[in-house]
Amino acid sequence: MNILITGGCGFLGARLARTLLAQDTLALCGAPAQPVARITLADRVPPPDDLAADPRIAFVEGDLNALIGSGQLPAAGTALVFHLAAAVSGECEADFDLGLRSNFDATRALLQACRALGTRPAFVFSSSVAVFGDSPEQPLPPVIDDRTLPTPQNSYGIQKFIGEQLVADFTRKGFVQGRNVRLMTVSVRPGRPNGAASSFLSGMLREPLAGVRATVPVPPETAVALSSPANTVRGLLRAAEAGDAEWGARTAVNLPALSTTVREMAAALERVAGPAATALLDWQPDPAVAKIVTSWPSRVETARAQALGLRADSGFEAVLRDYVRENPGAVKLEVR
């Protein structure tokens, strides 16, 4: 089986690739399991060394729109596409054209290229909980579910919802086997901060553990919906595996969410690394960031995901300890 991962050299794409390589086979869309023969990682930056060394990995470097336009992607024989590449929330608010180019133009072009293959490849689209937004004119219900009307309040959320509809229509027409998956905010992300408004939800943990100060731009009582990296990859893979009847409607599936607050996240940090860690947090309100983050839902009911066997993380302290265990070189403080 040949698989394409856009944004494949980023944190989530690389983790997904490692998981696919480790399990070695994949039962695609309800069919019998097949060996994973080739994974193409498309990105602007090269893959981590461990992935680059695996003979099953191919790397295609460049702008996604340009790679699709030149016919380099997707390659003939591609059976599955994980479309993870995107400009993130803060970037889209700061640069409207960047968001359109990265999140709308690239998604439409990739779907058209998959259509041109003529083989109805599976297409897993990483959408976002940001398709939901709270506004005075149309307030969110206390708990959202798979049937809640998306009401995005920022460019990123709107572009992701447009992407969902494109995938749904290409699926309806029989061009691809589409799977729209709404990801929760992923925490804790290793590496460096990105331009997402939610980036601090990893930074407020990752940086103090490394002995570095971190800014928290929202009030402690801010409620959020999170998913660990492992649980997020689990959801993406399950979407690829589910048969049409099992998956059900063409509308997106909300992945399971751990509902917590920023205060509780800070408390978990202190339990894991002591007061020395939380002393490195600077609580400095940023109205622009808070406006985006607080418009997103914090409580999500995920009946369709649960029917697929997916569950939310059990608690944030366990998620944080998993980060410490998986990234020992990034932790400088003593862990309890």
pLDDT tens by residue, 35-51: 999 999 999 999 999 99
pLDDT at 279 over 90: yes
For residues 9 and 59, the answer to whether their CB atoms sit within 8 Å is yes
pTM: 0.96
Which helix (H) or strand (E) covers residue 296, if one does?
A: none
Active site residue 156: yes
For residues 164 and 125, the answer to whether their CB atoms sit within 8 Å is yes
Q: Are strands 38-43 and 2-6 parallel, antiparallel or unpaired?
A: parallel
- Tokens 């083989």 belong to residue: 119
pLDDT tens by residue, 163-202: 999 999 999 999 999 999 999 999 999 998 887 889 999 9
- The confidence score (pLDDT) of residue 196 equals 85
- The confidence score (pLDDT) of residue 195 equals 79
Band the pLDDT of 211: cuts 50, 70, 90: very high
Mean pLDDT of 85-100: 94
For residues 191 and 123, the answer to whether their CB atoms sit within 8 Å is no
Domains of the chain: 2-184+227-254 (3.40.50.720), 197-223+258-298+313-330 (3.90.25.10)
- The confidence score (pLDDT) of residue 57 equals 98
- The confidence score (pLDDT) of residue 194 equals 84
For residues 76 and 116, the answer to whether their CB atoms sit within 8 Å is no
**What is the distance between the alpha carbons of residues 210 and 5, in angstroms, rounded to a whole number?**
30
**What is the distance between the alpha carbons of residues 201 and 222, in angstroms, rounded to a whole number?**
11
- The confidence score (pLDDT) of residue 192 equals 85
- The confidence score (pLDDT) of residue 175 equals 98
Band the pLDDT of 260: cuts 50, 70, 90: very high
Which of 262, 255, 295 minimizes the C-alpha distance to 93?
295
**What are the backbone angles phi and psi of residue 161, rounded to the nearest 5°?**
-70, -40
- The confidence score (pLDDT) of residue 193 equals 84
**What is the distance between the alpha carbons of residues 69 and 72, in angstroms, rounded to a whole number?**
8
- Please count the other Cβ atoms lying within 10 Å of the Cβ belonging to residue 113: 20
pLDDT tens by residue, 95-136: 999 999 999 999 999 999 999 999 999 999 999 999 999 989
Percent of the chain with pLDDT over 70: 100
pLDDT at 242 over 90: yes
**What is the distance between the alpha carbons of residues 289 and 134, in angstroms, rounded to a whole number?**
14
- The confidence score (pLDDT) of residue 197 equals 85
Tell me the pLDDT of the chain averaged across its residues: 96
**What is the distance between the alpha carbons of residues 303 and 253, in angstroms, rounded to a whole number?**
9
Mean pLDDT of 301-307: 96
pLDDT tens by residue, 142-153: 999 999 999 999
- The confidence score (pLDDT) of residue 52 equals 98
Among the residue ranges 76-80, 120-124, 286-290, the one predicted with the least confidence is: 286-290
**What is the distance between the alpha carbons of residues 330 and 177, in angstroms, rounded to a whole number?**
39
Q: Are strands 253-254 and 177-183 parallel, antiparallel or unpaired?
A: parallel
**What is the distance between the alpha carbons of residues 112 and 315, in angstroms, rounded to a whole number?**
41
Q: Spot the catalytic one: 82, 125, 132, 156.
A: 156
